[in-house]
A = this chain, B = another copy of it.
Amino acid sequence: MSTFLEQIEQQLQVALAEGNLESLRPVLNDEYPADLADALERLDLDDQYAVFQLLEPELAAEVLNELGAETTRRILEQMPVAEVGALLDEMAMDDAVEILTEDVSPGMREALLDEMEPEDAAEVKRLLQYPPQSAGLLMTEKYVRVRAEITAGQALDHVRKVDDEVETVHDLYVLDNTHKLIGVVSLRRIITSPPESLVADIMETDLVTVPPDMDQEKVARLISRYDFLAMPVTKADGRMLGIITIDDAMDVLTEENTEDILRLGAVESAGLDQPYFTIPLWRVIRSRFGWLLLLFLADTLTGNVLRVFEDELSAVVALSFYIPLLIGTGGNTGSQTVSTIIRGMAVQDIHAKDLWRVLRRELVGGLLLGAMLGVVALGRSYLWDQNVSLALVVALSVVVICSWANLIGSFIPMLARRFNIDPAVISAPLITTLVDATGLFIYLMIARLLLGI
């Protein structure tokens, strides 16, 4: 809770002002990593490293994990390589992989691997072979493995012995002598079963496992779906590679959601996954300008459409007064559809094969919404201009544009998914921009036909 954080911040301010940081050592080492990380993020650059050095290695490793990429990089740059290597050894190896791939240069990565304990370095190197965003990179090999032939009592003793070396003891993984996963048994089951019962008799054999190249978001949704605390990762032949724990799954879901929300707003999310105020402004500009420029250029199409209908617009000046209203309505309808479809795909309610079903549904929805809004438009336009034909043009345009926006807003994200593009990249503003130009065309064509100009 934020009260912890405020306490730490206050104590840090006082200690820094008085110049006796050292006195804080016992206090800091008693805090939660996430709170310490937040407090560090808010300090001046010069103080960050000084405070970080006060932390015990195990805690320091956890804090490093919670820090944003920018701060991590700055702290690691100031630290002797050997110390960084030792810190990485303290971490869960999937976290070490994250730092080695995202926060340090490739040259530095090699140097650090040399400094790490050979066994850890070997695990990291194995993990580094998996593709970006894959389950493999989230894995830890430090889980409890037991044989099916031992008893519950023996399994409990085994847990006691390996405690220090593993990340979690909630589930025990039962492997055969070819290292194949044949069962899972929870610690709860081990404890509540008679000590002499065989693991083989109490283990769960209906297993859900994932391959190491599965997308991380998919794995996270499976963990959430089945209410697991960890998901085993196996090779195609059933051999056990490691486990992915629920805390990592939660982090993945949070990151994916950030990505979706930013992309829906046409912000490229790469490099923005850290606290708002710590992102350098130039990086924000870079993440936003590309999309803005592309959309700007696409929007110049609307100018072209208007030029094509120059005669109509000069003949009936009032036509131009409805332009922002109509493209606005098209854009809003499109945004609604994109949000709905993208969310439906993210939580896996909508699959690629559902394309036609989705289009039919959205077309009907668009027609209904358009009809309801068309009635309002008819009234509003007539009140404004007292021109029945014009009011009919506006109302009919609303109906067609709403239906069209619904179709585009569902078709394009689903098409993206088919080509394995993250549908959120096809952001709401892109759909809006597409609907702008095409909606204008629809409106002015209807005007040309109905008004006979």
CB-CB contacts of A293-306 with B at 8 A, as 1s and 0s?
A: 10111011011001
Q: Which of A8-28 contact B (CB under 8 A)?
A: none
Indicate how many identical chains form the complex. 2
CB of A327 closer than 8 Å to a CB of B: yes
**In contact, B329 and A299 (Cβ under 8 angstroms):** yes
A276 to B341 Cα, complex, angstroms:
8
**Min CB gap A352→B, angstroms:** 12
CB-CB contacts of A121-150 with B at 8 A, as 1s and 0s?
A: 000000000000000000000000000000
Q: Which of A264-298 contact B (CB under 8 A)?
A: 264-267, 272, 275-277, 281, 284-285, 288-289, 291-293, 295-297
A436 to B436 Cα, complex, angstroms:
13
**In contact, B1 and A222 (Cβ under 8 angstroms):** yes
CB of A258 closer than 8 Å to a CB of B: yes
**In contact, A225 and B292 (Cβ under 8 angstroms):** no
**In contact, A292 and B323 (Cβ under 8 angstroms):** no
Contacts of A419 in B (CB 8 A): none
Tell which of A276, A291, A436 has the most Cβ of chain B within 10 Å. A276
**In contact, B335 and A281 (Cβ under 8 angstroms):** no
Q: Please pick, from B4, B310, B428, the residue contacting A208 in the complex, using a CB distance under 8 A.
A: B4
A384 to B267 Cα, complex, angstroms:
29
Smallest CB-CB separation from A429: which chain B residue? Answer: B332
**In contact, B338 and A292 (Cβ under 8 angstroms):** no
Contacts of A253 in B (CB 8 A): 250, 253-254, 257
CB-CB contacts of A354-376 with B at 8 A, as 1s and 0s?
A: 10011001001100110011001
CB of A56 closer than 8 Å to a CB of B: no
Segment at the interface with B among A46-54, A175-183, A312-320: A312-320
A432 to B332 Cα, complex, angstroms:
9
**In contact, B350 and A281 (Cβ under 8 angstroms):** no
A191 to B172 Cα, complex, angstroms:
14
CB of A118 closer than 8 Å to a CB of B: no
CB of A170 closer than 8 Å to a CB of B: yes
A141 to B352 Cα, complex, angstroms:
42
**25 pairs of residues in contact across A and B, judged by CB atoms under 8 Å:** A32-B208, A156-B191, A159-B188, A160-B192, A163-B192, A187-B191, A227-B247, A262-B339, A265-B336, A265-B340, A266-B335, A267-B340, A276-B358, A284-B340, A285-B369, A291-B332, A295-B328, A296-B373, A296-B376, A296-B377, A299-B324, A303-B325, A313-B320, A324-B327, A324-B436
- Interface of A toward B, CB cutoff 8 Å: 1, 4, 30-32, 34, 156, 159-160, 163, 169-170, 187-188, 191-192, 206, 208, 210, 222, 224-227, 229, 246-247, 249-251, 253-254, 257-258, 260-262, 264-267, 272, 275-277, 281, 284-285, 288-289, 291-293, 295-297, 299-300, 302-303, 306-307, 310, 313-314, 317, 320-325, 327-329, 331-333, 335-340, 342-344, 346-347, 349-350, 354, 357-358, 361, 364-365, 368-369, 372-373, 376-377, 380, 384, 428-429, 432-433, 436-437, 440
